[in-house]
């Protein structure tokens, strides 16, 4: 499988990258349309509380919002082709530079959250699946259900009140190293742990009922061997999916956590852009998130390919 598989994978990656370009273009188009249907003219946020109509008109001209849709869009594509995202309407800062500074923070937070969530989630999932009906399974079950039932900002606020205000162990906000990342990562990891554990448990249990596991059992393989080599490996597919999903959602969806803990990530940056109607910022964030997301999906698919030979990355035909 390896030689042939390697070639397929390479073709597959190439194809996905080729698809990326039209995907990004269509993303820019749709987002552009969306932005234009949003009420809230950026000019009004730019000029503050007091501005002459004349000043408003000249700013409109400057940012090109007086032109028609297609020529604005063409202008934006031209900008992209030049390899940059343009400058923020407000701060005049280069959007690409700002994204390049914020994306790593978001990645770092997502990775940290995953580093907590994956081992905890899988361990809890295995316990729940292999110790079905036991006391410990019930406890784990309750905790995982509790984990997805708590509002994220509630977890965040509580974590901050307990660990920062009361115990004075960790700083409540800031962007930086381990000390700062601990609380937001924990907050993000709580629902992820629960989701992972439950999906892993469901999937492992299901695998145990499958034909080939029964066969393996009938053949007299040791339960541990079955658990590790057959069941778990087989149960990984939905788990990998969930990991991919959660990771993807952290890229733009960690706004609340980032706001509470003052974490300087791309979610807050995008949110700020949306509130201020800073089109270059919004577009830049959308394009970046899309690209990262597509790459994430590609990785997920490649992992599928390696952990389950039944799911081959094939070229197009079912």
Residues within window 126-145 making contact with other proteins, judged by CB under 8 A? 141, 145
Task: Look up residue 311 and give its two tokens.
Answer: 């799911």
Report if residue 302 touches other proteins, rule: CB under 8 A.
no
The minimum distance between CB 291 and other proteins, in angstroms, equals 5
One residue of 1, 30, 136, 139 binding other proteins per CB under 8 A: 30
Taking the C-alpha atoms of residue 55 and residue 61, their distance in angstroms, rounded to an integer, is: 10
Report if residue 148 touches other proteins, rule: CB under 8 A.
yes
One residue of 5, 9, 13, 47 binding other proteins per CB under 8 A: 47
- What dihedral do alpha carbons 152, 158, 161, 162 form, nearest 10°? -130
Nearer to other proteins, 123 or 245 (CB): 245
One residue of 98, 114, 117, 140 binding other proteins per CB under 8 A: 98
Please provide the DSSP assignment of 65-91 as one string: TTS-HHHHHHHHHHHHHTT---B-TTT
Please provide the DSSP assignment of 23-64 as one string: HHHHHHHHHHHHHHHSS--HHHHHSTT---HHHHHHHHHHHT
CA-based nearest residue to 77, from 26, 15, 16, 17: 26
The minimum distance between CB 120 and other proteins, in angstroms, equals 17
Report if residue 230 touches other proteins, rule: CB under 8 A.
no
Nearer to other proteins, 2 or 149 (CB): 149
One residue of 12, 32, 247, 269 binding other proteins per CB under 8 A: 269
One residue of 72, 189, 255, 280 binding other proteins per CB under 8 A: 255
Q: Which residues contact 31 (CB under 8 A, 6 or more apart)?
A: 282, 283, 286
Report if residue 9 touches other proteins, rule: CB under 8 A.
no
Report if residue 152 touches other proteins, rule: CB under 8 A.
yes
Nearer to other proteins, 227 or 260 (CB): 260
E strands, the chain, in order: none
């Amino acid at each position: 499988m390896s030689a042939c598989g390697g070639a397929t994978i390479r073709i597959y990656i190439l194809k996905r990258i080729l698809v990326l370009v039209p995907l990004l273009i269509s993303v820019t188009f749709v987002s552009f349309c969306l932005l234009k249907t949003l009420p809230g003219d950026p000019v009004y946020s730019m000029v503050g509380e007091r501005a002459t109509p004349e000043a408003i008109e000249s700013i409109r001209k400057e940012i090109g919002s007086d032109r028609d849709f297609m020529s604005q869009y063409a202008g934006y594509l031209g900008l992209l082709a030049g390899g940059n995202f343009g400058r923020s309407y407000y701060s005049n800062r280069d959007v690409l530079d700002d994204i390049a500074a914020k994306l790593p923070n978001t990645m770092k937070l997502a990775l940290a959250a995953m580093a907590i969530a994956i081992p905890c989630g899988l361990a809890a999932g295995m316990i729940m699946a292999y110790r079905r009906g036991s006391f410990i399974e019930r406890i784990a079950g309750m905790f995982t259900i509790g984990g997805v039932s708590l509002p994220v900002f509630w977890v965040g606020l509580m974590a901050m009140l307990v660990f920062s205000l009361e115990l004075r162990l960790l700083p409540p906000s800031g962007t930086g190293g381990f000390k700062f990342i601990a609380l937001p990562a924990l907050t993000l990891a709580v629902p992820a742990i629960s989701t992972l554990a439950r999906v892993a448990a469901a999937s492992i249990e299901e695998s145990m009922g499958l034909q080939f596991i029964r066969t393996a059992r009938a053949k007299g393989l040791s339960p541990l061997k079955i658990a590790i080599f057959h069941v778990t490996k087989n149960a990984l597919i939905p788990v990998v999916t969930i990991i991919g999903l959660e990771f993807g959602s952290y890229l733009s969806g960690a706004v609340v956590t980032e706001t509470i803990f003052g974490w300087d990530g791309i979610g807050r940056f995008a949110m700020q852009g949306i509130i201020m109607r800073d089109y270059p910022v919004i577009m830049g964030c959308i394009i970046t998130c899309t690209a990262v997301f597509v790459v994430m999906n590609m990785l997920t698919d490649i992992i599928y390919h390696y952990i389950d030979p039944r799911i081959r990355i094939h070229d197009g035909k079912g």
